[in-house]
Amino acid sequence: MTKVLAIEDDALLRDSIVNVLTLRGLTAIAAENGYVGLKLAQENLPNLVLCDVRMPGLSGYEVLKSLREDPNTATIPLIFLTAENTPEVMAMGADLGANGYLCKPFSTSELMIAIAPFI
């Protein structure tokens, strides 16, 4: 079964993502911050990671960098979730190896379209 890890510090959005994914028959794993998300990614080796860019503690950029440095997680696709739709944010993620962006707020259909190539 396809596993998707959602790393998002906003509880409402995180729960919403998990519910949408679960209703679509995917295994959804939730993490409330980058530290927990990184640990869960290493333990569960999901097929896809959805990760907020701006989080307290470990940012999404730091999560992505750590995932790419670990041979076990280096090839897991990661889509950033961000409210900052700027060229600088996009360039930073691209430089680190992000596979895409989903700008907040997003609809269920936008989420499903964004993740479709990876599940």
Separation between Cα atoms, residue 84 and residue 9, nearest integer Å = 15
In this prediction, residues 7-24 reach a mean pLDDT of 97
Whether the per-residue pLDDT at 72 is higher than 90: the answer is: yes
Q: Residue 117, preceding bond cis, omega within 30 degrees?
A: no
pTM for this model (two decimals): 0.94
Backbone angles phi, psi at 38, to 5 degrees: -65, -45
Whether the per-residue pLDDT at 9 is higher than 90: the answer is: yes
**pLDDT at position 14:** 97
**pLDDT at position 91:** 79
**pLDDT tens-digit readout, 29-55:** 999 999 999 999 999 999 999 999 999
